[in-house]
């Protein structure tokens, strides 16, 4: 976490707050608190946790001690413990803005973005000049796919602090979600310039290139990601998707299989390898992977969508089933409430493959109404409908549902 601050003044404040108590205990508390900070700085997180816990036993009324222990818990990958400590911290000091920021960070870590936003609203209200609170709230909005709100927060954070690579990376993620890939790449470029050691920044820029179908540039970035961090699993996955985009579906299978060795119970990985097998014409292997994906998560809509595509388009009679294709595509939509434009677009493709062209155009219009900035939908509608496609786009309803990050 980048919430480090000098705690000298904090320690002085804590000692003053203990005025009237035993001076020896106050001194012991200060020594333990300092020892906890030093241990954290040295990376000895277990020792830091132990020292701060001892300090809290001596003075359980120190909001800063509770908050600091929470920060160590977050660094140890224990956000649940952090949440408990941070609630105690803000209970003791309701005006402690940084504690609300940490609380938002902890909720982000467990994907509870609604609670994260609630905590961070308080943090920003208490300290509107905190770039960290704004960045952390923007991250929560990214998690909610509310990219417009996220962009406002990242813009504000960058105005307050233009030298933090994370802010540009997070804004780039939001821009990816809005299909503004060139702007996203510019932000990832800035993040890499500020901090070239972070594998994530190269991976995220690679995703933007992947979505632009600039597959060679995407592969270069995924190569850089893996060079920095050979255990960055999603980079292998993404590189496989880039190879698939170049028509190298065999390489895609190879890359995704590497990641499956690390995470064999991933519905997404089985779905994507199954899709690659389908493109290779290996329908038996494709069905096996796609059915495995559904077995692992019976609510994973993209797996139903991918299997529906296979049954709609397979040239092998054994795997071509119109009724099953439509049923699976509808199932994917039913699992994506509120309706996902991606799942609607999938149904449209299935309908079109089954020669239900009028229904396909109507369904694609619904998807485009929800996501009018999606260029792929627009181009597909042009192919199916001809010159009337632009008119259809103009008739779409406002307030689109944000695009889901698939990588």
Per-residue pLDDT tens over the stretch 388-407: 433 333 333 333 223 223 22
Q: pLDDT, tens digit, for every residue of 105-153?
A: 999 999 999 999 999 999 999 999 999 999 999 999 999 999 999 999 9
What is the predicted pLDDT for the residue at 397? 30
- Asked if residue 14 has pLDDT above 70, the reply is no
Quote the distance between the C-alpha of residue 406 and its chain's center. 9
CA–CA distance, 298 with 35 (Å, rounded to integer): 49
Categorize the per-residue pLDDT at 230 as very low, low, confident or very high, splitting at 50, 70 and 90: very high
**Average pLDDT along the chain:** 90
Tell me the angle at which helices 23-41 and 63-75 cross, rounded to the nearest 10 degrees. 20
- The pLDDT score that the predictor gives to residue 10 is 52
With a cut of 60, say whether residue 17 has pLDDT above it: no
Q: What pLDDT does 353 receive? A: 95
Quick one: pLDDT at residue 22? 75
pLDDT tens per residue across span 43-86: 999 999 999 999 999 999 999 999 999 999 999 999 999 999 99
- 18-32, 123-137, 184-198, 379-393: lowest mean pLDDT where? 379-393
Residue 183 tokens, joined: 């702007």
3-state secondary structure the chain: CCCCCCCHHHHHHHHHHCCCCCHHHHHHHHHHHHHHHHHHHCCCHHHHHHHHHHHHHHCCCCHHHHHHHHHHHHHCCCHHHHHHHHHHHHHHCCCCHHHHHHHHHHHHHCCCHHHHHHHHHHHHHHCCCCHHHHHHHHHHHHHCCCHHHHHHHHHHHHHHCCCCHHHHHHHHHHHHHCCCHHHHHHHHHHHHHHCCCCHHHHHHHHHHHHHCCCHHHHHHHHHHHHHHCCCCHHHHHHHHHHHHHCCCHHHHHHHHHHHHHHCCCCHHHHHHHHHHHHHHCCHHHHHHHHHHHHHHCCCCHHHHHHHHHHHHHCCCHHHCCHHHHHHHHHHHHHCCCCCCHHHHHHHHHHHHHCCCHHHHHHHHHHHHHHCCCCHHHHHHHHHHHHHHHHHHHHCCCCCCCCCCCCC
Q: Which domains does the chain have, with CATH numbers?
A: 14-79 (1.25.40)
| pLDDT value, residue 21 | 54
pLDDT average, residue stretch 357-381: 93
- Is the per-residue pLDDT at 7 higher than 70? no
Length, in residues, of the chain: 407
Mean per-residue pLDDT, 369-374: 90
Q: For position 179, what pLDDT does the model report?
A: 92
Tokens of 298: 């019976």
97-106, 123-132, 378-387 — which is least confidently predicted? 378-387
Backbone angle region of 355, left / alpha / beta, with phi > 0 → left and psi within -120 to 50 → alpha:
left
CB–CB of 290/271 below 8 Å?
A: yes
């Amino acid at each position: 976490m980048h919430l480090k601050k000098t705690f000298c003044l904090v320690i002085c404040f804590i000692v003053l707050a203990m005025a009237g108590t035993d001076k020896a205990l106050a001194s012991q508390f200060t020594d333990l608190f300092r020892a906890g900070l030093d241990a954290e700085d040295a990376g000895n997180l277990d020792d830091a946790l132990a020292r701060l816990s001892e300090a809290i036993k001596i003075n359980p009324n120190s909001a800063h001690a509770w908050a600091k222990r929470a920060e160590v818990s977050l660094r140890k990958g224990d956000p649940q413990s952090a949440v408990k400590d941070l609630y105690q911290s803000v209970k003791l000091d309701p005006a402690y803005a940084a504690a609300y920021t940490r609380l938002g960070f902890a909720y982000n870590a467990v994907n509870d973005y609604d609670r994260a936003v609630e905590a961070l609203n308080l943090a920003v209200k208490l300290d509107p000049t905190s770039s960290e609170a704004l960045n952390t709230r923007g991250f929560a909005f990214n998690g909610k796919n509310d990219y417009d709100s996220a962009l406002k927060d990242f813009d504000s954070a960058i105005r307050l602090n233009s030298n933090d690579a994370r802010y540009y990376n997070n804004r780039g993620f939001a821009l990816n979600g809005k299909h503004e890939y060139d702007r996203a790449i510019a932000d990832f470029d800035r993040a890499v310039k500020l901090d070239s050691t972070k594998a994530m920044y190269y991976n995220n820029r690679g995703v933007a290139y992947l979505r632009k179908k600039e597959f060679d540039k995407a592969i270069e970035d995924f190569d850089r990601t893996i060079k920095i961090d050979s255990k960055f699993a999603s980079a292998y996955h993404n590189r496989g998707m880039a190879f698939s985009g170049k028509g190298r579906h065999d390489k895609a299978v190879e890359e995704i299989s590497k990641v499956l060795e690390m995470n064999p119970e991933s519905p997404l990985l089985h779905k994507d390898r199954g899709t690659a097998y389908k493109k290779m014409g290996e329908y038996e292997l494709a069905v096996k992977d796609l059915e495995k994906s559904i077995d692992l998560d019976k609510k994973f809509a993209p797996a139903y969508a991918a299997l529906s595509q296979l049954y709609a388009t397979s040239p092998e009679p054994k795997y071509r089933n119109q009724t099953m294709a439509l049923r699976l595509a509808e199932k994917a939509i039913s699992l994506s409430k509120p309706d996902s434009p991606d799942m609607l677009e999938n149904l449209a493709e299935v309908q079109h493959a089954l020669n239900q062209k009028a229904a396909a155009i109507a369904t694609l219009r619904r998807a485009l109404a929800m996501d009018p900035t999606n260029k792929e939908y627009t181009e597909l509608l042009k192919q199916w409908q001809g010159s009337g496609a632009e008119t259809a786009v103009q008739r779409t309803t406002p307030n689109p549902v944000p695009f889901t990050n698939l990588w």
